[in-house]
Chains A and B, each alone.
Chain A
């Protein structure tokens, strides 16, 4: 390991770039500078993935500095196979957000870009933190820039959506905080995540803390019945906000389960697994039906997220190697696919200023390239073989069937539903006759938009055909995790 604190550089590079942004006057320069910072961060994160040793489950690039001695809190970061994947995903979506906002954001550009940079640092910090206190600080600090992003640059009902997002997540997080402090005392006054993983907490502690954690993570995922903030936030947020929400923030709930609930509270996790699986099954089917009924493009994708994240939580709580691998891969996939879908809805919204499905139709005739990309990501979202969604969903399903036939059957229904609403989306937006005047004068996606779409499309197909590199990175860490949950 090199002496350079590579991980800290990746985490703090975006925030360190803020003085540069503050010094710039012209909007174009601000955009280019933000793009440069986030692209550099992406390259660093990529080099991290290449330097990552996928043969072990230990934390790599680990750093630790005492932060608050009196309480045993330290600034400790490090990545294993799970987190390195999400660091990569976050940094990828980071610069894509800038590209997506290039023309979509036309007021207070400087403030917007600063918010994006702050957000990026906090999100990367969440995935790297090895100290519970540090994790919590990043986790909750994220609310500030996200609240501002939704509330300032969002749609007509943005204030309501921003409030709802903020208060839902805050209420959940604060219970998490109480759980964290309880673990601190029960675990011998330590916030060290690795130390706490080794502790064997008595069952009643595990159960209460699990419930406290569950509220926080379930809100973030979001699981039914605390998902109602998501459609509002997604619909009202600007494109970049939607991409961040769907691509990264939703993953954090599931990541919380992976990093804390499962390894630290294994007995409680197994005890509550049927409950979580039942909620996931409800989310898969209920979210699917809701998506089927939506007339608003963003709402449709938002509800499809509820359904897809149901697959993730289902896979996590099967405690089977396949289910777990599938769930984590599906988290990555969902970030790519749904991020891309929101990007594409944003692109068309910029042109027509409507998100109503009924106002589209026959886009294939005017903007074929756009429609092809939209079709590709829709297919990936419904998990057609050859796309990334298929691999993840298949693994989750095999885990689900191994747990119980009924669970598997319900999950299959959800998979069918996702085909139904996604095909409906493609048919009503992309195919058919060109009926609306507004859509006649649409223009094709340009080079800038293409540059954001292409990398996402590459990952859709790469994971679809050759998921091995991704599963290899995850493998040892997930095996280790499974060992922690199920015991020796």
Chain B
């Protein structure tokens, strides 16, 4: 590698470098005891995120690769990084008050958040299975600690332990699949894998196993059935801002590498995995929707809701093609706004003795706090996919992608299951609006929390009303990923 290539690589990966350096800086700052420490940590972290976001914005344009084509900054990577920056910034905004409330503000929280961020950034920029794996592990390790950050709370510790064990197993399985792919193709680079696999006909047992293992590892990260068991426990036990971060950013990152690995690397052998993913998507959606119906804890309910949403987004991957990829990307962006918004509402409820975890804690909120209840209503209707909110457009575009490929039956199943899912979202609205308040609300409405709620609200309504620009961005970023063949399960083709 000549000198120029090294400099170019550094420039292309400078956002990652800045965030890593920033995370290390946070470790030092955390050591200096000071009564304004939390303010300093929050402010500095935000500044780092904004700086990285600014540089990333400067990299928009033709795809640039670095480090011998193992690292790429293309439309897909930039779109997902935008989601991560947004999610990280909003998480920082909602974290501060929560950390004060739980008295866990000191220490490595912010450093770990930034490490998770850079891990995810590397994941989406990786075009080499090893680079992707490195990013995956970096973010996973940071999240393991963050989930258990409330170390005095047994639930948090339990969640962390479950997450570590199951996460490590799934990473191992993913790594095994990766090694099989390397054995079969002699490379870990995605484009080379695609070339190497294009001649494979019919697929051998080893390849099927390799894909099975890779898929298992990734489906675990997505929280798809049958690897969803960890989701409710981890979501319930983790500190609420971390649950929020995990549910949007980590999930988006996992989807990004599913897009990269399966629609770029493994697209040639689509017949092997498409059927399996279709079945998994439907079961995931069904299980998430039905089990969420009986939850009484709002974080567990949102955990099952996020399982159901993962199922819907998986349908976008099944659809494939430019619309399919773009629909998944847009879905994740919109999901970031609405889900983070809803979690910010939960953080808002966490005050004093009230944990704000139970759906009953919300009884009569609309009577005393109409505006914040209205924002919660927007987020919930958006999660349920009712227009004119963004959640509707996200779902609509997935349907468009599906039907474009002839999967009408899948589309019908998807909409019927989303009608089931609507029930538990509007149940929360019912509790807030249609029951008299049973207690006095003491909401944790710090200015930062207010801002994050309003930003999430504007995003949720704004994208719903003018989705055009965001749609264009997603479509431009989506690389052309034509499916090997359309299947014959369609009703109307």
A369 to B486, CA, bound (A): 70
A141-B386, A208-B492 known; A182 vs B403 contact (CB < 8 Å) = yes
What is the bound-complex CA distance between A140 and B397, given in angstroms? 16
Q: Establish whether residues B404 and A185, one from each chain, have CB atoms under 8 Å apart when the complex forms.
A: yes
Which listed residue (A108, A137, A148, A178) contacts B412, Cβ 8 A? A178
Contacts of A166 in B (CB 8 A): 422, 426
Chain B, residue nearest A110 (CB): B370
Min C-beta distance of B377 to chain A, whole Å: 8
Whether A177 contacts B399 in the complex (CB less than 8 A), given A137-B388, A144-B386, A167-B422, comes out as yes
Q: How long is the Cα–Cα vector from A1 to B378 in the complex, in angstroms?
A: 38
Is the Cβ of A151 less than 8 Å from the Cβ of B491?
A: no
A144:B381 contact, CB within 8 angstroms? yes
Q: A71-B400, A182-B492 are in contact. Are A174 and B418 (CB under 8 A)?
A: yes
Q: Is the CB of A205 within 8 A of B419?
A: no
Majority DSSP secondary structure for residues of B touching A: helix
Q: Is there contact, CB below 8 Å, between B468 and A171?
A: no
Most chain A beta-carbon neighbours within 10 Å: one of B386, B411, B422, B475: B386
Nearest CB in chain B: distance from A304 CB, A: 28
The interface residues of chain A lying within 8 Å CB-to-CB of B397 are 71
B142 at the interface (CB under 8 A from A): no
| Contact with B415, one of A70, A178, A186 (Cβ below 8 angstroms) | A178
Interface centre among B366, B386, B387, B396 (most CB of A within 10 A): B387
Q: Are A111 and B370 in contact (CB under 8 A)?
A: yes
Does B426 contact A163, Cβ atoms closer than 8 Å? yes
Q: Are B400 and A184 in contact (CB under 8 A)?
A: yes
Q: Choose from A140, A163, A208 the contact partner of B392 (Cβ within 8 Å).
A: A140
Which chain B residues lie closer than 8 Å to A88 at the CB level? none
Contact B434 A171 (CB under 8 A): no
Establish whether residues B423 and A167, one from each chain, have CB atoms under 8 Å apart when the complex forms: yes
**B455 interfacial contact with A, CB 8 Å:** no
Q: How far is the CA of A144 from the CA of B388 in the complex (A)?
A: 10
Q: A189 → chain B, closest Cβ, in Å?
A: 9
Q: How far is the CB of A139 from chain B (nearest CB, A)?
A: 9
The interface residues of chain B lying within 8 Å CB-to-CB of A204 are 492
Nearest residue, chain A, Cβ from B384: A170
- Kindly state whether residue A289 has any CB partner on chain B within 8 Å: no
Residue interface bits B377-417, CB-to-A below 8 A is 1, else 0: 10001000011100010001101100110001001100110
Query: Do B415 and A158 touch across chains, with their CB atoms under 8 A apart?
Result: no
| Residues on B with beta carbons closer than 8 Å to the beta carbon of A117 | none
How many A-B Cβ pairs are below 8 Å? 92
Q: Is there a chain A Cβ closer than 8 Å to B430's Cβ?
A: yes
How far apart sit A174 and B289, CA to CA, in the bound complex (Å)? 16
Q: How far is the CB of B129 from chain A (nearest CB, A)?
A: 32
Q: Say whether A178 contacts B399, CB under 8 Å.
A: yes
Interface residues of A in 139-172 (CB under 8 A from B): 140-141, 143-144, 147-148, 151-152, 158-159, 162-163, 166-167, 170-171
Majority-rule SS of A interface residues? helix
Which B residues from 338 to 394 make CB contacts under 8 A with A?
Answer: 366-367, 370, 377, 381, 386-388, 392
Q: Whole-angstrom distance between the alpha carbons of A81 and B492 in the complex?
A: 34
Q: Which residue of chain B lies nearest to A186 when distances are taken between CB atoms in the complex?
A: B492
Q: Check B433 against A151 for contact (C-beta < 8 Å).
A: yes
The reply to whether A171 and B471 contact each other, CB–CB distance below 8 Å, is no
**Once the chains are docked, how many angstroms separate the CA of A208 from the CA of B412?**
12
Task: Tell me if B403 and A178 are in contact (CB < 8 A).
Answer: yes
Flag whether A32 is at the interface (Cβ < 8 A): no
The answer on a CB contact under 8 Å between B387 and A70 is no
In the complex the two chains form, what is the Cα distance from A167 to B293 in whole Å? 14
Cβ-defined contact, A151 with B434, below 8 A: yes
Complex alpha-carbon distance, A69 and B433, angstroms? 37
Chain B residues contacting A4 (CB-CB under 8 Å) are: none
A465 within 8 A of B: no
Residue B200 lies at the interface, judged by CB distance under 8 Å to chain A: no
In chain B, positions 463-480 with a C-beta closer than 8 Å to chain A are 466-468, 471-472, 475
Name the residue on B nearest A147 (C-beta). B426
**Which residues in B have their C-beta under 8 angstroms from that of A186?**
492
CB contact list, A2-21 vs B, under 8 A: none
* Complex Cα spacing A177 to B416, Å: 11
Q: How far is the CB of B158 from chain A (nearest CB, A)?
A: 35
A177 to B468, CA, bound (A): 19
Residues of B within 8 Å of A163, CB to CB, are 423, 426-427, 430
Interface flags, A176-209, vs B, CB<8A=1, else 0: 0110011011100000000000000000110010
Q: Is the CB of A70 within 8 A of B475?
A: yes
Whether B367 and A108, one on each chain, are in contact in the complex, defined by CB atoms closer than 8 angstroms, is: yes
Q: A167-B423, A170-B422 are in contact. Are A70 and B404 (CB under 8 A)?
A: no
| A170-B419 in contact (CB<8A) | yes
A67 interfacial contact with B, CB 8 Å = yes
- Asked whether, in the complex, the Cβ of B468 is within 8 Å of the Cβ of A69, the reply is yes
A140–B386 touching, CB < 8 Å:
yes
Determine if A136 is an interface residue (Cβ-Cβ < 8 Å). yes
CA distance A204 to B491 in the complex (A): 10
A175 to B404, Cβ gap below 8 A? no
**Is A175 within 8 A of B399, CB to CB?**
no
In the complex, residue of chain B having the shortest beta-carbon distance to the beta carbon of A212? B412
Q: Which residue of A lies closest to B436 (CB)?
A: A107
Q: Are A70 and B388 in contact (CB under 8 A)?
A: no
How distant is A120 from chain B, measured CB to nearest CB, in Å? 15
B403 touches A185 (CB 8 A): yes
Say which residue of A136, A147, A177, A205 sits within 8 Å of B492 (CB atoms): A205
Q: Which residues of A contact B403 (CB under 8 A)?
A: 178, 181-182, 184-185
Cβ distance A133 to chain B, nearest Cβ, rounded Å: 8
Closest to A73 in B: B468
Give the complex CA separation of A152 and B374 in angstroms.
Answer: 14
Min CB gap B401→A, angstroms: 10
A214 to chain B, nearest CB (A): 14
Q: Which of A224-282 contact B (CB under 8 A)?
A: none
B85: shortest Cβ distance to chain A, in Å?
Answer: 24
Chain B residues within 8 Å of A174, by CB: 415-416, 418-419
Which residues of B sit under 8 angstroms from A69, Cβ to Cβ? Answer: 468, 472
Q: Which residue of the partner chain, among B430, B466, B467, contacts A151 with CB atoms under 8 Å? A: B430
Is there contact, CB below 8 Å, between B416 and A70?
A: no
CB nearest neighbor in A for B418? A174
Task: Looking at the assembled complex, report how far the CB atom of B179 sits from the nearest CB atom of chain A, in whole angstroms.
Answer: 41
B388 and A167 contact, CB distance less than 8 A: no
Interface positions of A from 49 to 80, Cβ below 8 Å from B: 67-71
Please judge, given known A-B contacts A108-B367, A171-B419, whether A182 and B430 are in contact too, CB under 8 Å: no
Residue of A nearest to B409 (CB): A178
- Structural contact, A70 and B399, CB atoms closer than 8 A: no
Whether the Cβ atoms of B434 and A70 lie closer than 8 Å is no
- Residues in B with CB closer than 8 Å to A136 are 387
B400 touches A178 (CB 8 A): no
Contact of A177 with B396 at beta-carbon distance under 8 Å, contacts A68-B468, A69-B468, A151-B430 already known: yes
**Cα(A446)–Cα(B370), bound, Å:** 34
- Contact in complex: A182, B408 (CB < 8 Å): yes
CB-based contact B467/A68 at 8 Å: yes
Query: Nearest Cβ distance between residue A384 and chain B, in whole angstroms?
Result: 41
**Chain A, residue nearest B326 (CB):** A70
Closest A residue by C-beta to B403 = A181
A204 to B404, CA, bound (A): 17
Q: Which residues of B contact A162 (CB under 8 A)?
A: 430, 434
A158's nearest neighbour on chain B, judged by CB, is: B434
Whole-angstrom distance between the alpha carbons of A451 and B411 in the complex?
49
Taken together as a complex, chains A and B put the C-alpha atoms of A143 and B412 apart, in Å, by: 20
> What's the Cα separation between A228 and B59 when bound, in Å?
58
Give 30 pairs: A residue, B residue, CB < 8 Å, sorted on A.
A67-B468, A70-B468, A70-B472, A71-B400, A111-B370, A137-B387, A140-B387, A144-B377, A148-B433, A151-B434, A158-B434, A162-B430, A163-B426, A166-B422, A166-B426, A167-B422, A170-B419, A174-B415, A174-B418, A174-B419, A175-B412, A178-B408, A178-B415, A181-B396, A181-B399, A181-B403, A184-B400, A185-B404, A208-B491, A208-B492
Which 8 interchain pairs have the tightest Cβ spacing? A174-B415, A137-B387, A171-B419, A68-B468, A151-B434, A181-B403, A141-B387, A178-B411
Given A70-B468, A181-B400, 7 more A-B residue pairs with CB atoms under 8 Å apart are: A136-B387, A151-B430, A170-B422, A175-B416, A178-B403, A182-B408, A204-B492
